Structure 1
Amino acid sequence: MIALGSGWPAGIVLLERGWLSANNIVLLPPEPDAPGVVVDTGYVTHAAQTLALVRHALQGRPLARIVNTHLHSDHCGGNAALQNAFGSPVAIPPGEAEAVRHWDLDRLSYRFTGQQCAPFRFDELLHPGSRHTWGGRTWEVHAAPGHDPHAVMLFEPDSGTLISGDALWENGFGVVFPEIEGEQALDEVHASLDLIAALRPRRVIPGHGSAFSQVDAALEKAHRRLAQFRSDPLKHGWYAAKVLVKFHLLEVQREPLSSLRSWMEHTPYFGLIHSRYFGSTPWPQWQEALLSALLEGGAARREGDDIADGDA
């Protein structure tokens, strides 16, 4: 848990999480008993830890609201646990309201990525252009499509603080999933980066990794990565496939190679990645090349007939 200290606005607590979970941000008003707000809630298998961390950050305060920058599994997997524990309303971007209402696993991406998320209900929508007073500060909601078409960012202009989700990290941005599905989403990534530059934030709290204030440098790195994906689309496809396998290995820690191969065959995003970027390579050879790259890079390791997470 990190209270962001000198130069950062008071009342913003960063719960910097390791994968599988996205960072959680707790917004606290100056009044000691006033309710707090949490932005993003991590992955479902980390929900008990998320609940404990949020309770500690709140220091006995109520939790007034749960807010999501977008609804990928690592950002909203703790919603249900927090909602059950605190009875808090949940605010989500409007684009996936119907999918949440009907808990449509395809539209919510969870079946396509082979990931989990505990069902939750939503109570409010975060419309781009709206403003909300959370933690004693007024936050603007800005659309941030690219990584996710429905994602939003939260900007507090007085302190110049941006909660960027996966639209900007210190060293890049998240996989551009709509691009895999055949949309021209790299243009949306570019537009979101331009929006961040126009907002001129002085500090950024990303969905993953440490908070940072070298915003221009981060934007430059993000533009370089975007240019690489434009010039070599296979690089993006390879990156996306490796991220999905690594996320799965982090979740299961270890499983038989045959089970991992079966999981990949039954996880629709791998079929999309293969057909869009690597269709000239037969599936078995492509799958073998992907697993070999993860093993050689240390992201995975072989233990007998099993494949284990390389970081375990």
Structure 2
Amino acid sequence: MIDRVVTSGTFSLDGGTWDVDNNVWLVGDARSVIVIDAAHSAEKIAERVGGRTVAAIVCTHAHNDHINAAAVLSELTGAPILLHPADQVLWEMEYGDDVRYTPLEDGQKLASGGVELQVIHTPGHAPGAVCLYAPELGAVFTGDTLFEGGPGATGRSFSSRETLVESIRTRLLVLPHETVVHTGHGNSTTIGAESPSF
């Protein structure tokens, strides 16, 4: 089961601030879920979770609009926060040393509600950016690595377009073409639909 919650707030980096709508993904079953990218409103996310157990709160990267509800959601649910440690500097911009996370590793497998998510490290949009592949669901959760229409934004601190494109080509476009791409913002797409852009 895949459920989407859209939350609204701001994204700030490099002296700029933008209004954004974020996709928060809940993956699991009627008893247990993994929350992907706890953005803006822990209360709204917790309401959608309902009585289910939250096995983990996974951050696809540590830009503030993808992590700013993680600490409160963790307090509300008791779930650990998981993040790739290459995004430590971005994490500290939001939380300093006050909030700790459990490090994610490339290839690591996370399970909840009968669904297994495989961690794919895809640096470029952020150094610690990861995607989460659920083969039995035919889906991948890409955060801001890959969108409908192409790669995520670069040109900000800690990002590299060359690295991002290489990550997408070598780590995501090798997935089956029918794999549904669930993004951090906007509409879902498929690997096949995005492949011609590369």
Query: Does the TM-score normalized on the shorter chain lie above 0.5?
Result: yes
Shift in CA distance, 94/67, structure 1 to aligned 2, threshold 3 Å? same
Stretch moving more, 73-82 or 58-67: 58-67
Moved over 4 A (4+): none
CA contact (8 A) 1:131 1:138 kept: yes
The count of aligned residue pairs is: 185
Please state which structure has a larger fraction of its residues in helix: 1
> Deviation of residue 152 (structure 1)?
0.6
Q: Distance in 2 between matches of 1:22 and 1:91?
A: 18
Specify every segment of 5 or more residues in structure 2 that has no aligned partner in the other structure, as ranges.
9-18
Amino acid at match of 1:139: L
**Higher RCO (C-alpha under 8 Å, 6+ residues apart):** 2
Specify every segment of 5 or more residues in structure 1 that has no aligned partner in the other structure, as ranges.
1-10, 100-106, 112-116, 224-312
- Structure 1 residue 108 corresponds to structure 2 residue 108: no
1:5 aligns with none
2:71 aligns with 80
2:172 paired residue among 196, 203, 221 = 196
2:36 paired residue among 36, 39, 45 = 39
Q: Distance in 1 between matches of 2:101 and 2:65?
A: 20
2:192 aligns with 216
Q: Deviations over 1:207-258 (max 9, x none)?
A: 1112223x3232334x3xxxxxxxxxxxxxxxxxxxxxxxxxxxxxxxxxxx
TM-score (norm 1): 0.54
State the identity %. 26
Secondary structure of the residue that 1:158 maps to in structure 2? Answer: helix
Q: Deviations over 1:187-220 (max 9, x none)?
A: 212222212110125201001112223x323233
Please state which structure has a larger fraction of its residues in strand: 2
Shift in CA distance, 150/65, structure 1 to aligned 2, threshold 3 Å? same
TM-score (norm 2): 0.81
Look at both structures and tell me which one has the larger radius of gyration over its CA atoms. 1
Q: Distance in 2 between matches of 1:191 and 1:68?
A: 21
1:171 aligns with 149
- Cα RMSD (Å) of the superposition? 2.4
CA contact (8 A) 2:32 2:112 kept: no
2:162 aligns with 187
